[in-house]
Structure 1
Amino acid sequence: METTPKTPHEDLHSEQGAQRGDRPDRASQPVIKVEDLAWLEFEKPDLDAAERFAHDFGFATAFRTGDELHLRGTLPGSQCLIIRKGPTSRFVAPAFRAADRADLDRLARASGGTVRDRRDAGGGAVLELHDPSGMPVRVVTGVERLPPLPRQEPLVLNFGRVLRTNAAQRPPRAPSRIERLGHVVLETPRFATTLDWYQRNLGLIVSDFLYFPGQRERGPTMAFIRCDRGGTPADHHTLAMHLGPSRQYVHSAYQVADLDAVATGGEYLKDRGYRRAWGIGRHIQGSQIFDYWRDPDSVMVEHFADGDMFDDTVEAGWAPMSASGLAQWGPSVTRDFLGATPSAHLIRDVVTALRADDNEFDVRRLIGLLKAASA
């Protein structure tokens, strides 16, 4: 009996694939293809407090002045975070890494921007853009690569076969050592237009689409998006975006060595009085073991380990969005993680979005979001 061949997404990351008429998972001829996230930029009023939390979370300081703090992981490459002194705590921009100056020049011609030399630590060149939702976006190249630091080695585990004999397993309750920046998650009221921009200009590929329950015909409302490195695997998502009433940062994620690094690092953070937002568990889209925390300014950050890596042959999966569908195992998702705690700020953003004519967040989408959050 002849069987139907499996499509690339089956048994990988979703029970469903695309249907006829669904939006594509990639642009056919993008302007450039970025290689990775380079870093994220924030402002904070107290750099000393920011550095204390960063060290407790597992970063190392790469560069520090009275007005600027660069934080890095143990793997070679660029810094993970650039934090500048500012009047309030806020997310400023993601920075993506391009292959070379020619890519920046090509993107500048297509966007009408101007490439300039970076005067910041690490040098290189930068092109400053804005996506359709108004979020600043940097694209950089030629930035000095930081040398590796001593890393936290994964533990040797007696799973299935004995690899560790006459040696007890006693991982210390200490800060996890961040290895690298993994991804950033953003919310936008102009989801489809903004996703088109990242696919067309930066060459990003969607790994998974999510849609509001009962609204498949209206298209996706969340995308987990990876870099297109051809046959070289990339993180399941470098950028994730979802439709919502606000244009805002949601969280960012940083890789650590293994499950024990996630867990012992979390215990250390708990002992230091920091607030866990959700965890520990394992995601469905991306498969990461996760643990989410809030810094002293309530900015959400994630320790993760064991994430999926896809090359360019894997097509996008499709699944309904639901709170229960965020994890394979772990505690129930929290209102804190979902951003569902009622506040004057949230109510204002919802009302503003519903009144606006230039976005995709309407009453039916609001109902879908509420259903997804309670599913």
Structure 2
Amino acid sequence: MKSPWIEALRSVALTVPDLAAAEAFYTGTWQLTVADRADGVVWLRGSGADHHLLALHQAPGVPRILKVTLRARSAQALAHVAQAAVAAGGRVEATAGPAADPAGGQRVLLRDADGRRYEVVHGDARRPADVPPPPDQPQRLAHAVLNAPSVDAARAFLEPVLGFVLADRTRIMAFMNCDRDHHTLALGDADNAALNHIAFVMPTLDAVMRGGGRMKDAGLPPQWGPGRHGPGDNAFNYFVDPFGIVIEYTAEVEQIDDSYVPGGPADWTWPPGRVDQWGLSAPPSAALKAAQRAVVFQDDIGALRV
């Protein structure tokens, strides 16, 4: 299972109302590192090879998602996805040209019919991954989950345009694959197209648990977890950050290939009272569910460096 066009999820860009406070949280508590900064924006990296995982832009009001950035397998992929986006009912907001962030490279910027914005980059800068990785620092992004009023319509963009394929379908979510990670994007059944959550890969299960303790110490206890998912088989701990953005620590994401057989809703059910494989976690909190539909895509990116 592999997209011919997309290699991986690289980063997510968001607005926050207090950039200094956001930087303090994401470096001090969430354990990212500043990769670069400019007026009104900071780029934050993990211990892996990606230049950055988060771009945080200062903007008033509630947080908004600006874009999800995917890394292309080739320069030729940029032309394909731009042409295919229009054919699939989306639009091209920026044709192939230099990326606007310090990672550089070439990029195209696409929007689907529901307003989800995808940036596809090629030739962006990378850094030597930390070896061994720090024990409690996120390494890279595992996945981003985006809400969809119509999962079928959202898939009808992701599949022909970006080459994603369905890994599994549950009653409430479609897990979309582009390479060896079980899923890189997922689509959640919802009444809007908001950011559901962003998942950060930790080096070990212990790191997921220690991260949960660190968040609890900061007054931000888990809103779902710890637990182990069915699709993807990954350990999880979900939180709502100080600004209302849902973030996840995860580890042990299932690696799949063409022999993997996608499951349907009947394959992913739990006994009464369970919401994961372990059966220890309570269901997602009301606060988590509200936050999972609150961070919508910003329609006009204006002068933001996006």
Aligned match of 2:300: none
Counterpart for residue 63 of structure 1: 36
- Quick one: distance in 1 between partners of 2:241 and 2:97? 33
Asked if the contact 2:240–2:288 (Cα under 8 Å) also holds between the matched residues in 1, the reply is: no
Give 1:58-97 correspondences, 5 Å limit.
58-88=31-61, 89-97=63-71
Unaligned residue ranges in structure 1 (runs of 5+)? 1-24, 155-175, 212-220, 350-375
Quick one: distance in 2 between partners of 1:153 and 1:77? 15
1:293 is aligned with what amino acid?
A: F
Q: 1:245 aligns with which of 191, 195, 204?
A: 191
- Report the AA paired with residue 33 of structure 1: W
Match of 2:177 among 214, 226, 233: 226
Q: Distance in 2 between matches of 1:223 and 1:121?
A: 33
User: Residues of 1 paired with 2:131 and 2:43: CA distance?
Assistant: 18
Structure 2: distance between partners of 1:188 and 1:67: 30
> Which residue is equivalent to 2:303?
none
Secondary structure in 2 matching 1:328: coil
* CA contact 1:225–1:240 (8 Å) conserved in 2: yes
- Paired residue for 2:220? 274
Larger Rg: 1
Amino acid at match of 1:201: V
Q: Secondary structure at the match of 2:277?
A: strand
Alpha carbon RMSD of aligned pairs, Å?
Answer: 2.5
Q: Deviations over 1:44-94 (max 9, x none)?
A: 121111111112112111112231111111011231111111113112221
Partner of 1:109: helix, strand, or coil?
helix
| Distance in 2 between residues matched to 1:313 and 1:302, nearest whole Å | 28
Retained in 2: the 8 A contact 1:151–1:179?
no
Q: How does 1:75-154 map to 2 (within 5 A)?
A: 75-88=48-61, 89-112=63-86, 113=92, 114-149=95-130, 151-152=132-133
Give the distance between the partners of 1:123 and 1:78, measured in 2 at CA.
Answer: 10
Q: Which runs of 4+ in 1 moved over 6 A?
A: none
What is aligned with 2:277?
328
Pair 74,200 (structure 1): closer, same or farther in 2 beyond 3 Å: same
Deviation for aligned residue 1:100: 1.9
1:202 aligns with 2:176: no
Aligned residues: 281
Which residue identity is paired with 2:286?
D
Contact 1:275/1:295 (CA < 8 Å) preserved in 2? no
Aligned to 2:16: 44
Does the 8 Å contact 1:97/1:140 carry over to 2?
yes
Structure 1: how far apart are the matches of 2:264 and 2:38?
46
TM superposition shift of 1:98 = 0.5
Counterparts of residues 176-325 of structure 1 (less than 5 Å): 176-211=136-171, 221-227=172-178, 229=179, 234-320=180-266
- Residue 358 of structure 1 aligns with which residue? none
CA distance in 1, matches of 2:85, 2:262: 27
Asked whether the 8 Å contact 2:168–2:262 carries over to 1, the reply is yes
Partners of 2:5 and 2:74 within 8 A in 1: no
Counterparts of 2:43 and 2:235, CA distance in 1 = 26
Native 8 Å contact 1:128 1:136 kept in 2: yes
Give the Cα–Cα distance (whole angstroms) in 1 for the partners of residues 198 and 258 of structure 2: 23
Structure 2: runs of 5+ lacking an equivalent: 87-91, 297-306
Displacement of 1:281 after TM fit?
1.0
Q: TM-score, normalised by structure 2?
A: 0.84
Structure 1 residues 340 and 110: alpha-carbon distance in aligned structure 2, compared to 1, 3 A threshold:
closer
- 1:53 maps to 2:53: no
Asked if the contact 2:85/2:112 (under 8 Å) is kept, the reply is no
Q: Deviations over 1:326-348 (max 9, x none)?
A: 4101212123376169x9x8xxx
Matched letter for residue 30 of structure 2 = F
Deviation at 1:312, TM superposition (A): 2.6
Distance 1:110 1:282, change over 3 A: closer
